[in-house]
């Protein structure tokens, strides 16, 4: 019986609606909504711009649900989904805990809009793409450098977030430099008088951190280049990271979204 603490779950490039992680979290006493934002039903085929108003509607919808315990909810995102979650936490109200799995805290490839505010994209240059021995692409270096460090204009204003942020990082991330970005995010928070965020960093772990016991996805199609790219990570280390990261996520939400009923951590 509810009401339960609410969580919104957002995946990255690939589009569509992925609900398995939301379902797994719901088994731990949370009311979880997986949110699609492109390539699903009447949504745009490609995410050309990201409008925070769309995600704000999702927050309002969830908070008005009779089975959801307010006044705040949590956010969980992977990759581009993590950057969307960090933007939501920065711009929207009623969010009190945010988990970024291999997010960058930058507006990377496309601008993010909310009302009168636009965060410009950091940009990239595909000429920096490398090809691995197997013919699969490595896009680790395509992103433009962070000029100006944590005050770069493409950085998401994470110091505005009300609740704590948890950064989960794969040290062998080949999608982007999660490790570096989490450090820059931490610097930005501290420069603005906020506390250091919790950063959990896993060796031998790639970009695509999934729930425990999911097969490790070492490479797959990336819509940026429309070809297979490597995500990084070694199978054993990455699998162990997936088990630990899940425990950390559950305990973070359990702590910051209030007690859940029948927690099975
Ligand atoms: C959002 O948070 C405010 C301040 O805590 C609270 O008064 C309001 O009821 C919350 N909104 C919802 C829909 O729960
Ligand atoms: C972060 O990215 C790395 C490198 O691609 C990946 O191995 C790892 O699984 C990712 N971590 C998560 C939590 O997705």
- Is residue 262, in this structure, part of any structural domain at all? no
Average pLDDT, the chain: 91
User: How many angstroms does the Cα of residue 31 sit away from the middle of ligand 1?
Assistant: 17
Q: Quote the pLDDT of residue 259.
A: 59
Residue 180 CB: number of other CB atoms within 10 A?
13
What's the number of domains the chain is made of? 1
Looking at the whole model, is its pTM more than 0.85?
yes
Give pLDDT tens digits for 170-189. 888 877 788 889 999 999 99
- Residues 125-183 pLDDT 10s: 999 999 988 889 988 888 888 888 899 999 999 999 998 999 999 888 877 788 889 99
In a domain, 265, yes or no: no
Residue 129 lies in a domain: yes
- Give domain status of residue 169, yes or no: yes
Residues in the chain: 265
Residue 208 lies in a domain: yes
Catalytic residues: 79, 173, 207
The enclosing domain of 140 has a CATH number of 3.40.50.1820
Q: Are 13 and 224 in contact (CB under 8 A)?
A: yes
Whole domain around residue 36: which residue ranges?
A: 4-257
Asked if residue 19 belongs to a domain, the reply is yes
Both structure tokens of 63? 């908070």
Q: Is the CB of 3 under 6 A from ligand 1?
A: no
Beta strands in 82-190 (DSSP E): 95-101, 112-114, 117-119, 130-131, 137-138, 165-170
CA–CA distance, 122 with 146 (Å, rounded to integer): 8
Tens of pLDDT along the chain (265 residues) come to 889 999 999 998 888 999 999 999 999 999 999 999 999 999 999 888 899 999 999 999 999 999 999 999 999 999 999 999 999 999 999 999 999 998 889 998 889 999 999 999 999 999 999 998 888 998 888 888 888 889 999 999 999 999 899 999 988 887 778 888 999 999 999 999 999 999 999 988 887 888 999 988 888 888 888 888 888 889 999 999 999 999 999 999 999 997 554 444 4
Peptide bond into 3 cis (omega under 30): yes
How far, in Å, from the CA of 169 to the mean position of ligand 2? Answer: 6
Domain-embedded: residue 193: yes
In degrees, rounded to 5, the angle at the alpha carbon of residue 122 between the alpha carbons of residues 93 and 142 is 130
On whether residue 143 sits in a domain, the answer given is yes
């Amino acid at each position: 019986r509810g009401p339960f603490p609410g969580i919104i779950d957002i995946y990255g490039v690939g589009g569509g609606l992925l609900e398995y992680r939301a379902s797994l979290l719901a088994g731990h006493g949370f009311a979880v909504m997986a949110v699609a934002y492109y390539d699903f039903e009447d949504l745009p085929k490609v995410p050309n711009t990201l409008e925070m108003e769309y995600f704000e509607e999702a927050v309002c919808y969830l908070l008005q649900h009779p089975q959801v315990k307010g006044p705040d909810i949590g956010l969980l995102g992977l990759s581009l989904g993590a950057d969307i979650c960090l933007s939501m936490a920065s711009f929207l109200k009623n969010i009190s805990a945010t988990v970024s799995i291999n997010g960058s805290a930058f507006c990377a490839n496309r601008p993010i809009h909310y009302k009168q505010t636009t965060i410009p994209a950091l940009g990239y240059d595909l000429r920096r793409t490398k090809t691995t021995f197997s013919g699969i692409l490595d896009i680790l270096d395509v992103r433009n450098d962070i000029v100006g460090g944590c005050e770069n204009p493409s950085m998401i204003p994470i110091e505005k977030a009300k609740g704590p942020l948890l950064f989960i990082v794969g040290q062998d991330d080949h999608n982007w430099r999660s490790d570096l970005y989490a450090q820059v995010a931490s610097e930005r928070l501290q420069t603005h008088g906020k506390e250091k965020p919790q950063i959990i960093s896993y060796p031998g772990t790639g970009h695509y951190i999934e729930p425990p016991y999911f097969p490790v996805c070492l490479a797959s199609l990336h819509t940026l280049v429309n070809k297979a790219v490597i995500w990084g990570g070694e199978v054993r280390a990455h699998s162990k990271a997936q088990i630990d990261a899940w425990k950390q996520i559950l305990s973070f939400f359990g702590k910051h979204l209030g007690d859940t009923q029948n927690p099975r951590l």
